[in-house]
Structure 1
Amino acid sequence: MVIEERPVDDPGLSALLGAAFAELVARYGPEGRSAVHEEARYLVASVDGVAVGCGAVQPAGPSVGELKRMFVLPDYRGRGIARKLVVALEDLAGAMGCHTLLLATGVRQPEAIALYERCGYVPVERYGKYVDQPLTRCFHKPLPEGTTAGAWSS
């Protein structure tokens, strides 16, 4: 598996984002998708040259980043790809100057909630646009010192 940064118009990333949106619509309806800032940076996990997972970090305030667009294709779940993506995104966030990461996920995504909790994220009050969204669960994690973005291949 290789994890690398890709531009938002990358065909493999675009296909993953489309699949992620389709899954969100199936779970929550068409309002299940939240905007991503232009400054967001995306990582893509590939297996044998096939883009199978993605995630992004976007600035959310001074020294704060937000995880967005975490997704792994269903046929590739259960292989540790999402966990490796989270670690790589944390490294990327550290390289972007972030000391804390926030994220929002939904109650209809128990596998995502379990992943984030296993990765050390702790629940926080809903923030920003999520304050009045009862199906949303928000988390945060302080980032460790000395992240090393770029060491994402395995």
Structure 2
Amino acid sequence: MLIETRPALDPELAALITAQQRELAVAGAGAGARIFEPHDDVAYLVGVVNGRGVACGGWQARDAGVAEITRMFVRPAHRGRGLGRQMIVALEEEALAAGRQVIRLETGAHMLAVIALYQSSGYARIPAFGDPRNLCFEKTLPALVQ
């Protein structure tokens, strides 16, 4: 998978996030899910396979040294191939390069495969920092050697 930086208003990114929101709505999270509004302060990445965007994610600076991963999504036909893990690593690397060593994220409690991915990627549960119905996770990355 080729991972590319995309602007907030990229049409392929918008299509991926629309698909993510539809999936959340079908899974019953529609009422609590945040509506996508593109933000210039989020660094978005799109994973491309055979010229088509199949995965996305973004990271946003939060507190000093902290980034939040947001909008993680892999199209269903491309799941189970390690693309989500590749996206997490790319987002972590970008956030770390920007001085964000602590990475946080949140997801719905019903998203069992996503929770398993985050936990197997080294994220540990923390108290809720967003929607109290969601589960929150955090990981501290090793510092970059300069």
**How does the TM-score come out when normalised to structure 1?**
0.87
| Map of 2:44 onto structure 1 | 42
Q: Is the 8 A contact 1:25 1:31 kept in 2?
A: no
**Once the 2 structures are TM-superposed, how far is the Cα of residue 84 of structure 1 from its aligned partner?**
0.3
Q: Could you tell which deviates more after superposition, 48-57 or 32-41?
A: 32-41
Tell me the distance in 2 between the aligned counterparts of 1:30 and 1:8. 24
1:19-57 C-alpha deviation (Å, 9 max, x unpaired): 011111112123312666531100110001100000000
Which residues of structure 2 form unaligned runs of 5+? Answer: none
Partner residue in 2 for 1:7 = 7
TM-superposed CA distance for 1:9, in Å, is 1.2
Question: Paired residue for 1:96, among 85, 94, 98?
Answer: 98
Instruction: Give the alignment of 1:71-110 within 5 angstroms.
Output: 71-110=73-112
More contact order relative to length (CA 8 Å, sep ≥ 6): 1
- Counterparts of 1:90 and 1:2, CA distance in 2: 16
Matches within 5 A, 1:2-151: 2-27=2-27, 28-33=29-34, 37-127=39-129, 129-130=130-131, 133-134=132-133, 136-146=134-144
Residues 41-87 of structure 1, C-alpha deviation per residue, up to 9 Å, x if partnerless?
00110001100000000011111000000000000000000000000
3-state SS in 1 of match to 2:80: coil
In structure 1, stretches of 5+ residues that fail to align are 148-154
User: Is contact 2:7–2:40 with CA below 8 Å preserved after alignment?
Assistant: no
CA distance in 2, matches of 1:122, 1:16: 27
Distance in 2 between residues matched to 1:30 and 1:10, nearest whole Å: 25
What is the DSSP-based 3-state SS (H/G/I as helix, E as strand, rest coil) of the residue aligned with 2:110?
Answer: coil
| Further displaced range: 97-106 or 24-33 | 24-33
Instruction: Kindly indicate whether the alpha-carbon contact (under 8 Å) linking 2:104 and 2:137 is maintained by their aligned counterparts in 1.
Output: yes
Paired AA for residue 32 in structure 2: E
